[in-house]
Structure 1
Amino acid sequence: MPDRNPSALDFLLTRRSCPAQTLTTPVPDHDQLETILTAAARSPDHGKLEPWRFIVLGRDALQVVADALPAAGRRLGIPQDKIDKPVKTYGGAHLAVVVVFSPKTSEKVPKIEQTYATGGVCLALVNAALASGFGANWLSGWFSHDRDFIHEVFGLAAHETVAGIVHIGTASRTPPDRPRPDLTAITDWSRA
C-alpha cells in the first residue's frame, strides 16, 4: 500500500484549470517541462504501448499555429468569431504541448483503451503543471480535428490525432472556480 498523502489528495480536491488567455510568462524551462512531461507519461498504460507522444510548441511555433488558422477556418466554413478566438489565444500564448494520440497495433489492447490512456495523459499533464506551480489548460478546437491542419501544422501521421493541446504558463490571476458534479447524481451506491 502506498503511504497516505493528504497533500496530494487536497491538491486533487481543489485543483482547477486556468483559462489559457490568462497564462503568461514565465513558463517552465526545459528541465521543468521535462519533469512535467515525465510525470504525465506515468499514466496507466495497458500493454505498455505508449499510444501518445508530445509536441512542445514554443512562442514561434504558437505564432505559426495562429497564422495558419484563418485560411483553415475559411476552407472549412468556420464563422469568423470562431476563427478569431483561437487566433488570439495562440497568438498570445507562450508555451503549449500537443498531446498526440498515436495508437499502436495490438491484439491485446483495443484502440479505445489506448484512447482512454491518452486522455489520462492529458489530465496528468495538466495536473503535473499545476502541481509544479504553473497554470495550465487542456484545449482542443475545430482545427485540432481537421486532418489537413494537423498534418500540415503539427506534422501528424495519417493514423494520429490530437488528444489535446495543453497550455502552460504563469497564471496572471486566480482562476475562477466552477460548479462541480453532484456526486449523488452520478454515483450508484446500490451494489456497494
Structure 2
Amino acid sequence: MSHNLPDELPAALAMLDSRRSVPARQLTGPAPDEPTLLRLLRSAVRVPDHGKRTPWRFLAIRGEARHALGERLAARGIERDPHAGEAAVEKDRLRFSHAPLVVTVIARLGPDEKIPEQERLLSAGCVCFALLQAAQALGFGAQWLTGWPAYDTEVAHWLGLREHEHIVGFLHIGTPKLEAPERERPDPRELLTEWTP
C-alpha cells in the first residue's frame, strides 16, 4: 500500500512544521487559566508510555512563587560560585520571572523490572515536547528550558522532588510579545541512511 502526499498539507503537519520556541523573555500574560492548563496537559500526556508507568508528573510555578524561587536561585548561584558576577546573579534571579506560568516536568524513575529507565526518561521528554505543541496550538508561546537549576539537588529539594525523581524541563508558557523568528532547520535527507544486510 502506498501513500502519496496530498496536494494540501494536513493541518496537523502544518502545525508541526510551524512549531518554534518563543524565548521566555518574550512571554507575558495572560497565561493559560486552570481549565486551559489542564486541557494542555491532557494532550501532553498522550505520549508513548511503555508498560503504562506514567513516569512523569507536573509542578506549576506561577505568581509570586516565581519571584521567590528566583531569589533562592540567586542565593544558591552565589553558593555554587562565590565569584559569580552581577549579571549571572541577576540572570538567576529573573530566570522564572518572565513567563507567567512555568510547568516543571518531573520524571519519576527508579527501579523497574520490565521498563528500562531510559525509556521512561524518554517518555517524560516526549511530554515536554507535546506540551510545547499543545501550547502553540492554543495560541500561547512556550520554551523548554533546563539550566543548572534542573540538575541541582538543593533546587530539587525546594521543589519537593522525591527519591528517583528528576527535572526534565521547565516549560515557560505565556502570551508571546512578538512572533518568534524562524531559524534554519536540518535537512532530513542528510540525516537519513538506509540499512542493508
The TM-score normalised by the length of structure 1 is: 0.91
Task: Tell me if the contact between 2:71 and 2:93 (Cα under 8 Å) persists in the aligned partners.
Answer: yes
1:45-92 CA distance string (max 9 Å, x none): 001001100001111221121111111101111733333224223123
Does residue 161 of structure 2 align to residue 156 of structure 1?
yes
Match of 1:50 in 2: 54
Does residue 140 of structure 2 align to residue 140 of structure 1?
no
Structure 2 portions without partners, runs of 5+: 1-5
Match of 1:115 in 2: 121
CA RMSD of aligned residues (A): 1.7
Task: Tell me if the contact between 2:24 and 2:98 (Cα under 8 Å) persists in the aligned partners.
Answer: no
Match of 1:69 in 2: 73
Which of 174, 186, 189 pairs up with 2:191?
186
| C-alpha separation in 2, matches of 1:71 and 1:87 | 8
1:112-139 CA distance string (max 9 Å, x none): 1001000000000111111111001101
Bigger CA radius of gyration: 2
1:151-187 CA distance string (max 9 Å, x none): 12x1111311100000110000000111111222221
| C-alpha separation in 1, matches of 2:195 and 2:120 | 30
Match of 2:170 in 1: 165
Task: Tell me if the contact between 1:150 and 1:156 (Cα under 8 Å) persists in the aligned partners.
Answer: yes
AA aligned to 1:176 is P
Structure 1 portions without partners, runs of 5+: none
Task: Tell me if the contact between 2:110 and 2:164 (Cα under 8 Å) persists in the aligned partners.
Answer: no
Does residue 30 of structure 2 align to residue 11 of structure 1?
no
SS class of match (1:90)? coil
Task: Tell me if the contact between 1:49 and 1:104 (Cα under 8 Å) persists in the aligned partners.
Answer: no
Match of 2:95 in 1: 89
AA aligned to 1:162 is I
Task: Tell me if the contact between 1:72 and 1:143 (Cα under 8 Å) persists in the aligned partners.
Answer: no
